[in-house]
Amino acid sequence: MTNRPTAKENAKRFASVVQALQACENACNHCATECNKNGHAEAMARCISVCTDCAQYCAVTRAFLERNSEFAELLLEDCAEICSQCAEACDHHDQGHCTACAAACRACLDACLKVAGVEAVTTEPTVF
């Protein structure tokens, strides 16, 4: 059995990613709320759905990191992928909240991959 870092050691290691996860969660929740306003829900359905999923996954990942779960690092790469998909969905709309959300998602993606020890890979956007 390997020795796991202590909660204090991980708090330092994870500080930047925890902040990025919180910022992304907030941006995604705001984006989903704004997309639902003014009768845009149907046109923005995928954006709303992906933003909601991303916000929830960021919250779960952050909670695992904050409580020093032995499984926390397993969530980071998946969270990065969800952030990537969310950024791509938001890129299809010229709303200010979508632009801000995409930026927060990309920052979170980078933070997650950095802590997970994986370099970001630029790929072609997924088309749905």
Q: Hey, is 120 helix, strand or coil?
A: coil
Q: Which residues contact 27 (CB under 8 A, 6 or more apart)?
A: 97, 100, 101, 103, 104, 105
Q: Tell me the domain boundaries of the chain.
A: 12-116
Give the pLDDT confidence of 81-99 residue by residue, as tens digits. 999 999 999 999 888 999 9
Q: Is domain 12-116 in CATH 1.20.1270.360, yes or no? A: yes
Give the pLDDT confidence of 19-70 residue by residue, as tens digits. 999 999 999 999 999 998 867 778 889 999 999 999 999 999 999 999 988 8
